[in-house]
Structure 1
Amino acid sequence: MFTDNSLDINQHLRRRKVQDLVAYCRKASMCKDPIDIGRAAFRTTLNLLSNIIFSTDLRDPYEDSGKELKELVGNIMFEDGKPNLVDFFRVLKKIDPQGIRRRMTHYFGKIFETFEELIEERLEMNRSKHDDVMDVCLKINKENPDEINQAHIKSLFLALAYRSKGLKF
């Protein structure tokens, strides 16, 4: 997915996302609205990655819809960076004294809900061909459900997002 060849193949997507970013900045400038560069960069990166995996934008650049996901991912990164007593005192694992595991479970649950919605949408579209990562996963799932199920697919999407740095700021 992230080899030189596949990056060359997806060059048109990167170009389109940059054009979308420029159009967003131009529109905001014409309306004399301030531009949150961090949020705009996050939406652009997220939409580029989601187009490679799902063939769709996850967030509309003209809406504030990316804010929730950015905060969610920011919370995950914040919790992941915290020192956790459980790492030093394993006996506390079931107690979760700082509530880190509970919050992380909630945050990842929200991300998996988003992936679930995208998978269900694609399945309802009668498996129309987009030739993206999701199509490949769903094809394998259809041919051999024991090899890969929807939980595996959602975990793969999360791993791809982290591996590609799509969820890091």
Structure 2
Amino acid sequence: MVASTPDDAREILQRHDDACSGRLVPDIISELKYPEAAVLWMPPNDTWRTIRKSLNIYLTNHQKLDYLNDLRQNVVEGMLEFLRESARKKVAVDIGKLAFGVSLNKISNTFLSKDVTSYNSDEIESFKMAVETAMEVQGKFNIADIFLVLKPLDPENIPEGFVDERLKHRELKLPRFGDVLDSFLDYSQDNEPKFNLNHIKALLVDLFIAGTDTVSNTITWTMTELLLNPDMLLRVLRGEVSQTLGQEGKVEESIVLDLPYLQAVIKETVRLHFAAPLFVATTKA
């Protein structure tokens, strides 16, 4: 069934939303550590609504994002220092690896208040390979088509140590971090069993995977397109960016609002190069 008109779309997305909002779940999802907590494939039930509410309150909330801005800004400063040091040493920089590392540390600081890697570490490449494999595997609908060769690098192992470490930290009554993980743990105490530790761990896996691979891919393609189109590169760098930042300007998230041409370049890059495979919308209904 194809909804190709506004009326048809309204009929499906509004009037019959519950009946049409399910999706076929790939066989591989049953092999996850927490298949019942995989929010991406969860039907729109009470548990799904509880998890969605937690994301709205603690992740996409402007007040929370502003509160954690300094942590994310430290990641940007660390990236700039790495680039300056590489330039002084005349060492080539792998943009894809750097973008992945920055994305990884931005997410880890938002959730865990810490960096999880350094930009010249071989761990970045290993984790990047594991994430790309996870993205590919979850796109397959027949488990017979899958051959997992990166079991030791399984991204699902990421949250275990961090969550357990934070729980021990809280048991010792040590000062709180006030990050997203703390908020999730507080929220789970009031909303079990709809939102428990398994849901938190599964969410961390989903968000680490989605927030690293897609962002780094987009940055890599954007830089590639700019290098292939030097006129656009000059307009972005010598035009918008230089004028907005000045000679010693501080790079902050808020300046993106003052860079409409760069925004247009990124949007066009996303249009030309999808950050992740687009699944055909399907449902059991």
TM-score (norm 1): 0.74
Query: Aligned partners of 2:200 and 2:192: how far apart in 1?
Result: 11
Unaligned runs of 5+ in 1: 87-95
Query: Aligned partners of 1:73 and 1:58: how far apart in 2?
Result: 15
TM-score (norm 2): 0.47
2:212 is equivalent to residue 166 of structure 1: yes
Aligned to 2:69: 11
Cα offset for 1:145?
5.3
Question: Which has the higher relative contact order, 1 or 2, with Cα contacts under 8 A spaced 6 or more apart?
Answer: 2
- Residues 140, 147 of structure 1: 8 Å contact kept: no
Query: Which deviates further from its counterpart, 135-144 or 148-157?
Result: 135-144
Question: Secondary structure, in 3 states, of the residue corresponding to 2:207?
Answer: helix
Q: Which has the greater radius of gyration?
A: 2
Q: 1:63 to 1:141 in 2, by over 3 A?
A: same
Cα offset for 1:4?
3.5
Query: Which deviates further from its counterpart, 153-162 or 136-145?
Result: 136-145
Where do 4+ consecutive residues of structure 1 move more than 6 Å?
Answer: none
Query: Aligned partners of 2:144 and 2:111: how far apart in 1?
Result: 37
- Residues 134, 155 of structure 2: 8 Å contact kept: no
Deviation by residue 1:73-109 (Cα, 9 ceiling, x = unmatched):
1112233456x5x3xxxxxxxxx332x2x639948x8
Matched residue type, 2:185: L
Query: Aligned partners of 1:132 and 1:17: how far apart in 2?
Result: 15
Cα offset for 1:136?
1.9
Query: Aligned partners of 1:66 and 1:141: how far apart in 2?
Result: 31
- Residues 39, 66 of structure 1: 8 Å contact kept: yes
Deviation by residue 1:89-143 (Cα, 9 ceiling, x = unmatched):
xxxxxxx332x2x639948x82221210111222232364001111122234456
Question: Secondary structure, in 3 states, of the residue corresponding to 1:65?
Answer: helix
2:161 is equivalent to residue 103 of structure 1: no
Q: How does 1:1-169 map to 2 (within 5 A)?
A: 1-81=59-139, 84=141, 86=142, 96-98=143-145, 100=146, 103=148, 106=151, 110-125=154-169, 126=172, 128=174, 129-142=176-189, 146-161=193-208, 165-168=211-214, 169=217
Matched residue type, 1:166: T
